[in-house]
Amino acid sequence: MRGLKDKVVIITGSGQGIGRATALRFAQEGAKIVIAEFNKSTGQSVADEISSSGKEALFIQVDVAERATVCNMVSAVMDKFGRIDILVNNAGVIHDKTLKKMTDDEFDRVIDVNLRGTYICTQEVATVMREQESGVILNATSMVALYGNFGQTNYVASKSGVIGMTKVWARELGKDGIRVNAVAPGFIQTDMLKDIPENVMNMMVKKVPLKRIGKPEEVAGVYCFLASDDASYINGAVLSVDGGVVV
């Protein structure tokens, strides 16, 4: 990808799944990677994996829903690298229940991490990017934000909110040389799918025109494209990576 070499990239929730694949892909493209992860074990593991390949990586433990830890992260990155070129707001959680059974705590936790966490990270990083007069912010939404999903009141609300914030920020930050876009993955082979029964997985696959589950690396490639110079005139877009489910 053009223009990614030596770029400083923060990827939240990058200790596993799509976040890990995205970190590895950006590293392959020559970027300097910040693994911003709540789980110390998985976060450090990914950073070590990148470092062992000869690329530069830094692990920082962060809870995206807690502003103090996000501010500490931004300060640490600036101390280490002196700039922030790309932010991938990938961190997210699920607590699925029907409306009838969902608790306030389950609703609040998903909103706090997926929606508030994206807001806090973007607000803090955008301050740095404004001073640089450049930057790329990429937000993880979901195909369910586009059509809803049974038993996911909190998750759909959070991811729909991310789409709205993406469009607002694209308008607000464009004048500062900052592009903001979102990626909406579909059924991707991550830990979120590991407990789904086989018959349900088969039903899910049938809904996909390409007739298969996606790979984390396929989402990672889209993040790299949107962060690169090849996407220099893409701003405020929501790009679906779902095999055609929401055609």
pLDDT at 234 over 80: yes
Calpha distance 138→22 (Å, rounded): 12
pLDDT score recorded for residue 172: 98
Beta-sheet strand order (sheet of 135-140)? 57-61, 32-37, 8-12, 86-89, 135-140, 178-185, 238-241
Report the 10 Å Cβ neighbour count for 102.
17
Residues whose CB falls within 8 Å of the CB of residue 231, separated by 6 or more in sequence, listed in order:
179, 181, 225
In the predicted structure, residue 193 carries a pLDDT above the cut 80: no
Q: Is 155 a catalytic residue?
A: yes
- d(Cα 247, Cα 32) in Å, to the nearest integer? 35
Which pLDDT band holds residue 191 (cuts at 50, 70, 90)?
confident
- For the CA atoms of 201, 22, 130, 61, the dihedral, rounded to the nearest 10 degrees, stands at 90
pLDDT digits (tens, 9 = 90+) for 9-57: 999 999 999 999 999 999 999 999 999 999 999 999 999 999 999 999 9
**Residue 59 three-state SS:** strand
In the chain, pLDDT over 90 holds for what percent of residues? 89
For the whole model, what pTM was predicted?
A: 0.96
Q: Please report the pLDDT score of residue 76 as a whole number.
A: 98
**For 85-138, how does the pLDDT look when each residue is reduced to its tens digit (9 = 90+)?**
999 999 999 999 999 999 999 999 999 999 999 999 999 999 999 999 999 999
Task: Report the pLDDT value the prediction gives residue 101, as an integer from 0 to 100.
Answer: 98
Question: Which of 63, 95, 127, 89 lies closest to 11, judged by CA?
Answer: 89
pLDDT for the residue numbered 197 = 77
In total, the chain counts a number of residues equal to 247
Q: In the predicted model, is pLDDT for residue 194 greater than 90?
A: no
Tell me which amino acid residue 198 is. E
Confidence (pLDDT) at 145:
96
pLDDT in tens, 219-230: 999 999 999 999
The angle at the Cα of 164, spanning 89 to 168, to the nearest 5 degrees, equals 90
Torsional class of 209: left (φ above 0), alpha (ψ -120 to 50), beta (otherwise): alpha
Structural domains in the chain plus CATH codes: 8-241 (3.40.50.720)
Spatial separation of the C-alpha atoms in residues 37 and 57, rounded to whole Å: 13
Phi, psi (rounded to 5 degrees) for 82: 80, 0
In the predicted model, is pLDDT for residue 1 greater than 70? no
Confidence of residue 199 (pLDDT cuts 50, 70, 90): confident
Helix (H, G, I), strand (E, B) or coil at 77: helix
Q: What is the mean pLDDT of residues 140-149?
A: 94
Write out the DSSP string of 43-108.
Answer: HHHHHHHHHHTT--EEEEE--TT-HHHHHHHHHHHHHHHS---EEEE-------B-TTT--HHHHH
Taking residues 143-170, report their average pLDDT. 96
The predicted-structure confidence for 168-185, as pLDDT tens digits, reads as follows 999 999 999 999 999 999
Give the pLDDT of residue 52: 97
Angle at 89 between CA 235 and CA 134, to 5 degrees: 45
Distance CA 208, CA 205 (A): 5
Q: Among the options 147, 155, 223, 233, which is catalytic?
A: 155
